[in-house]
Amino acid sequence: MARAVTNRQKTINSLAAWAVGLLIFFPILWIFVMSFKAEGDAIKAPLEVLAAPWTLENYGVVQERSDYSRHFVNSVILAFGSTLLGLLVAVPAAWAMAFVPSKRTKDILLWMLSTKMLPAVGVLYPIYLLFIQLGLLDSRAGLVVVLMLINLPIIVWMLYTYFKEIPGEILEAARMDGATLHEEILYVLTPMAIPGMASTVLLNVILAWNEAFWTLNLTAAKAAPLTAFIASYSSPEGLFYAKLSAASTMAIAPILIMGWFSQKQLVRGLTFGAVK
Amino acid sequence: MGQIQLNQVSKSFGSVEVIPPLDLTIEDGEFVVFVGPSGCGKSTLLRLIAGLEDVTGGHVTIDGQDATEVAPAKRGLAMVFQSYALYPHMSVRKNIAFPLRMAGLDKAEQDRSVAQAAEVLNLTDYLDRRPGQLSGGQRQRVAIGRAIVREPAAFLFDEPLSNLDAALRVGMRLEISELHKRLKTTMIYVTHDQVEAMTMADKIVVLQAGVIEQVGSPLELYQRPRNTFVAGFIGSPKMNLIQGPGAEKHGAATIGIRPEHIDINENEGLWQGTVGVSEHLGSDTFFHVQCNASHEPLTVRATGEMALEYGAEVHLTPRTEHLHKFDVKGLRME
Amino acid sequence: MATQHSRSAARLMMAPAVVLLLGWMLVPLTMTLYFSFKKYLPMRGDSLANGLDWVGFANYTRFLTSSSFWPSVYATLVIVGGVLVITVILGIFLALLLDQPMWGQGIVRILVIAPFFVMPTVSGLVWKNMFMDPVNGFFAHVWRSVGAQPIEWLSQASLPSLILIVSWQWLPFATLILLTAFQSLDQEQLEAAEMDGARWPQRFVFIVLPHLSRAITVVLLIQTIFLLSIFAEIFVTTQGAFGTKTLTYLIFQRVLESQNVGLGSAGGVYAIILANIVAIFLMRIVGKNLDA
């Protein structure tokens, strides 16, 4: 039973929470504000920045000068490509582990997770070398595969926990009702699994979109997604705050929106079901 | 037709044998209840019949045909699951029609069967709802409806009432019994509740640790339990089982006497005891009496209302013609 | 429910995932291990085709005895430890706060978790330039407005600055997980404790914290694994200068910048061992949860 809370208490809670929330969100808000300011105004004191006129020019400049849209397309291809490819491999595996568990299922799951713990830097050179040998350096195809592999354990794991929630009796009922394996998957399992698969896709697109080790190390101009594109702004000469802000806003906006939808799944996906 | 025969059927999970080889025949049209404590293998046995588990050894024969290797759906059986196992994303109508759809029946025929089943089960008003919008009892009926439309050779029920509250359970019990009387189809029903077994079954199969302890009609089991396990399991409240000198006097290792077969009297009787807790049900009164014949308190039934205070001295007399005698192995002595 | 037929089908269905991950794990791992025992300086003409010289454990000892090693361990420990302490403690308070009834709870929650979705390169650059820049940064303006001398964050206070940036990114994660744990706390337990005479701080210490302990452990372990390999944040801010060269960054420099593959690979093996030690504890908790 939730206890009734006085309005006064609730007001205090709200004020405190909103203050903290805005404080944490402030850098993002500031990026957003800056992106609509002229470059010359952006380096002024905060209050002057706010007072300065608003402009859209940065967005145009970013697009013209550095071909933002190409990197954006790269990000989309890498994030969605790796996730869908991962789904293709993970759905059968997770299905098998959830519905036909054997003594080794648990070990296999844990082993898969353990590959996620492998520090990327430990295998950087071998992958780099393989990419050179296979001509995959700075190619989207190679990166799609790598991103798929690093997120595969999470995809398998999330799908497994979602499939696990589908009661086995329902599948047995379907079998008793005369559904073949194919029909069972088509009419019973898939409709019930779609919400879980959707959240899995969402979270993995986010993770792949923000991946910034392999994308920085294995791409140059051609296949670089937004993570690497933004990194090119780290040159030391000043007077680019507004453009950096515009580029950043465009890079994080789509994923922020997706993230807001996926907050519940985030916990499940990133703790491997250890916290529910 | 729905005659089911188990020949030396056994089941092991890995090295653990949950059901040693057993034989059982279920006649067409019978209502058979598998009853036993949890973990006794009754659900496993049902699933072996359904084909949801592979037998480790032996044969399952349905209507004279060996069905051991036949896929679950091809055995002509329908199952009602403990969790109902309704498809949450389908309406009631689609749930009930699902087996027909899988069998490739045309839409008109599906609709006709669904309408008929809904009529029988009072579900007509709910056909377009989703399972999530139904009460426990209604879901149960949908699960039964999904089984009925297949016109199976036999219905298999896996503890179907255990998720319902007590009042609903009594109602559904009656409905299932009535369904059986009407359809006259073989039904195999698994439960751990001996009251369900006694009230519904034509034939009860008592299982313990995968072994059939006794097969018989409810009254046979009640009146002539084959061993102390069945004696203690069937009947509520339980039969009093007395060991030691009290039993030896009758030439048995254990004697059993049901609560209704002991006369309670304040003045004289065979045994002497002290009244502990009394339970007043109105129609009956049950006394728990600590007495000199037994270490455990005995349960005694008196018809109607009888007032005895806690700690009152009483005398008990068992009716010898209703005494059950068991030997050292716990088997019934004749 | 499994029959023989479905078992073999299941094995077939798992095969692609298992084979892919096995390859992904074994192939590069074997190569790293192989390189770590070799002298491999591609810039000086060493190549796989010409054969590499076997140097035994020389790379391993050189990695440990190099002057950069201990500072990198120190930097790693300070960053990981600092971020862990900050995110867990603030995370508990934030989760507690967000769990209270309030107006606009959904929106506040979104505000709090937003930083998690900001890509590492963006957060690194934005903090570096727009907030920590000693001339034009937001903080510099604030410092000057109260008459103080602006701090050169990333050079004078490089480690605390990095801790601030990384904590900002990971606080949402800790908060969200702890909040989930809070919400699964049985209210009746708290009421029972209240009836038993426990006051609020006692209820927090004796009921709430033990309930959170597993979530806290999970936060600690998962964050440790991810924090041990933070890269982009350092790459776009200090490039490892001013004492921010972590183990991960040091190995990266050895391998790709100075192209001493043998030495870097030996470092990589150390990093893998280190990560595995943390991973074992995490796997235990996750594994236990699988049984439940």
The CATH number of whichever domain residue A87 belongs to comes to 1.10.3720.10
- 8 A C-beta contact, residue A199 and residue B124: no
In total, how many domains does chain A have? Answer: 2
**Is the Cβ pair A275, C276 closer than 8 Å?**
no
Closest CA to B281 of B237, B233, B320: B237
**C1 at the B interface (CB within 8 A)?**
yes
Q: Is the pLDDT of residue A29 over 70?
A: yes
What residues have CB less than 8 Å from C157, skipping those under 6 apart?
A: C151
Neighbours of chain A (3+ CB pairs under 8 A): B, C
Question: Could you tell me whether strands B154-158 and B186-191 are parallel, antiparallel, or unpaired per DSSP bridges?
Answer: parallel
Q: Are residues A41 and A79 in the same domain?
A: no
Residue A2 domain flag: no
Tokens of B223: 């009146």
Contact B52 C4 (CB under 8 A): no
Tokens of B55: 């037998």
For residue A133, being part of any structural domain is answered with: yes
**Is A95 found in the same domain as A50?**
no
Helix H, strand E, coil C: the string for chain A is CCCCCCHHHHHHHHHHHHHHHHHHHHHHHHHHHHCCECHHHHCCCHHHHHHCCECCHHHHHHHHHHCHHHHHHHHHHHHHHHHHHHHHHHHHHHHHHHHCCCCCHHHHHHHHHHHHCCCHHHHHHHHHHHHHHCCCCCCHHHHHHHHHHHHHHHHHHHHHHHHHCCCHHHHHHHHHCCCCHHHHHHHHHHHHHHHHHHHHHHHHHHHHHHCCCHHHHHCCCCCCCHHHHHHHHHCCCCCCHHHHHHHHHHHHHHHHHHHHHCHHHHHHHHHCCCCC
Quote the CA–CA distance of B133 and B72 in Å, as a whole number.
30
Does A214 map to a domain? yes
Cβ within 8 Å, pair C126-A1: no
Q: Please give the residue range of the domain that contains residue A252.
A: 67-271
What topology is assigned to C68-291 in CATH?
MetI-like fold (1.10.3720)
Residues of chain B in contact with residue C4, where contact means CB-CB under 8 angstroms, are 54
Q: Is the pTM of this model over 0.90?
A: no
**Distance from C-alpha of C189 to C-alpha of C207, rounded to nearest angstrom:** 8
Range A230-238 average pLDDT: 69
Same domain, A38 and A128: no
- Report whether pLDDT(C157) > 90: no
In a domain, A131, yes or no: yes
| pLDDT above 80 for A273 | no
Contact A178 B50 (CB under 8 A): no
State the smallest CA–CA distance between residue B76 and chain A in angstroms: 9
Q: Read off the pLDDT of residues A153-163 as tens digits, 9 standing for 90 and up.
A: 988 988 888 88
Contact C276/A at CB under 8 A: yes
CA proximity to C124, closest of A203, A47, A250, A31 = A31
Give tens-digit pLDDT for B157-168: 999 988 888 888
Tokens of C265: 């690979």
- Residues with Cβ within 8 Å of residue B16, at least 6 apart in sequence: none
Closest CB to A259 among C117, C138, C181: C117
Q: Where do you find CATH 3.40.50.300 in chain B? A: 4-230
Query: For residue C134, is the peptide bond before it cis, meaning its omega torsion is within 30 degrees of 0?
Result: no
pLDDT tens digits, B144-158: 999 999 889 999 999
Between A236-240, B234-238, C198-202, the lowest mean confidence (pLDDT) is in A236-240
Considering only residues 216 to 275 of chain A, which have any Cβ-Cβ distance to chain C shorter than 8 Å? Answer: 216-217, 226-228, 230-231, 233-234, 238, 240-241, 244-245, 248, 251-252, 255-256, 258-260, 263, 266-267, 270-275
How many Å lie between the alpha carbon of C52 and the closest alpha carbon of chain B? Answer: 51
What's residue A4's pLDDT? 62
Which SS3 state, helix, strand or coil, does residue C59 take? helix
Tens of pLDDT, residue by residue over B21-38, are 999 999 999 999 999 998
The label of the residue with tokens 């989703």 reads B130
Instruction: Please report the pLDDT score of residue C84 as a whole number.
Output: 94
**Chain B nearest-CA residue for A189:** B87
pLDDT of residue C1: 44
- pLDDT band at residue B110, thresholds of 50, 70 and 90? very high
Collapsing DSSP states into helix, strand and coil, what is residue B255? strand
Q: How confident is the model at residue A1 (pLDDT cuts 50, 70, 90)?
A: very low
Q: Domain B4-230 sits in which CATH superfamily?
A: P-loop containing nucleotide triphosphate hydrolases (3.40.50.300)
Q: Which of A35-44, B171-180, C117-126 has the lowest mean pLDDT?
A: A35-44
> How many angstroms separate the CA of residue C251 from the nearest CA in chain A?
7
Instruction: Kindly list the residues from chain C whose CB atom is less than 8 angstroms away from the CB atom of residue A258.
Output: 117
Q: A-contacting residues of C 206-225, CB under 8 Å?
A: 214-215, 218, 222, 225
- Alpha carbon distances (Å) from C231 to A48, B175, B329, C223: 35, 67, 74, 14
* pLDDT score for C285: 78
Q: Measured between CB atoms, which of A112, A119, A231 is closest to C248?
A: A119
Mutate to test the interface with C, among B44, B54, B158 (most CBs of C within 10 A): B54
Comparing CA positions, the residue from B164, B158, B236, B224 lying closest to residue B198 is: B236
Paired tokens of C15 = 């095969």
The answer to whether B54 contacts C3, with C-beta atoms less than 8 Å apart, is yes
Query: Which of A168-182, A260-274, C42-56 is most confident?
Result: A168-182
CA B323 to chain centre: 25
> Phi/psi at B237 (nearest 5 deg)?
-65, 170
Nearest CA in chain C to A91: C13
Q: Encoding tokens for residue C145? A: 């407005």
Please tell me the distance from the alpha carbon of residue C240 to that of residue C233, in angstroms, as a whole number.
Answer: 10
Contact A93, C13 (CB under 8 A): yes
**Rounded to whole angstroms, what are the CA distances from A102 to A272, C18, C202?**
20, 15, 45
HSE, side-chain direction, 13 A CA sphere, residue C162: 31
Is it the case that residue A238 has pLDDT exceeding 50? no
Q: How confident is the model at residue A275 (pLDDT cuts 50, 70, 90)?
A: low
CA A170 to chain centre: 32
> What is the amino acid identity at position B332?
R
In whole numbers, what is the pLDDT of chain A averaged over residues?
A: 85
Q: What single-letter amino acid sits at A270?
A: L
Instruction: Inspect the interface and report whether the beta carbons of C268 and A125 lie closer than 8 Å.
Output: yes
Pick the residue from chain C with its C-alpha nearest to B54: C3
Using CB atoms, pick whichever of C20, C35, C119 lies closest to residue A209. Answer: C119
User: Confidence class of residue A274 from pLDDT cuts 50, 70 and 90?
Assistant: low
Is the pLDDT confidence value at C59 over 50? yes
Give me the mean pLDDT over the C18-37 stretch: 91
- For residue B168, the SS3 value is helix
List own/partner pairs for B126-135 with CB under 8 A and 24 or more apart.
B126/B92, B127/B91, B127/B92, B127/B93, B128/B91, B128/B92, B128/B93, B129/B91, B129/B92, B130/B88, B130/B89, B130/B90, B130/B91, B130/B92, B131/B84, B131/B86, B131/B87, B131/B88, B131/B90, B131/B92, B131/B95, B132/B88, B134/B92
Give the whole-angstrom CA distance, residue B327 versus residue A49.
98
- Is A1 domain-assigned? no
Q: Which of B49, B52, B53 to mutate to test the interface with A (most CBs of A within 10 A)?
A: B52
pLDDT value of residue C255: 86
The shortest C-alpha distance from B47 to chain C (Å) reads 9
CATH for B237-326 is 2.40.50.140
State the pLDDT confidence band at A276, using cuts at 50, 70 and 90.
Answer: low
**Measured between alpha carbons, how far is B162 from A99 in angstroms, rounded to an integer?**
24
- In this complex, the residue of A176, A183, A188 whose CB is nearest that of residue B72 is A176
Residue of A nearest to C254 (CA): A125
In degrees and rounded to multiples of 5, residue B131 shows phi and psi of -55, -35
Question: Which residues, including other chains, have CB under 8 Å from residue B74's CB and lie 6 or more apart?
Answer: A178
Interface test with A, best of C111, C183, C226, C265 (most A CBs within 10 A): C111
Asked if the C-beta of C8 comes within 8 angstroms of chain B's C-beta atoms, the answer is: no
Find, among B167, B219, B160, B170, the residue nearest to B190 by Cα.
Answer: B160
Task: Give kind and range of the element (H or E) at residue B290.
Answer: strand B284-291
pLDDT at residue C151 tops 70: yes
Residue C3 pLDDT class (50, 70, 90 cuts): low
Q: In the numeric block, which tokens belong to residue A41? A: 């105004």
B135 contact partners, CB below 8 Å, separation of at least 6:
none
Neighbours of chain C (3+ CB pairs under 8 A): A, B
Q: Name every chain C residue with its beta carbon within 8 A of the beta carbon of B158.
A: none
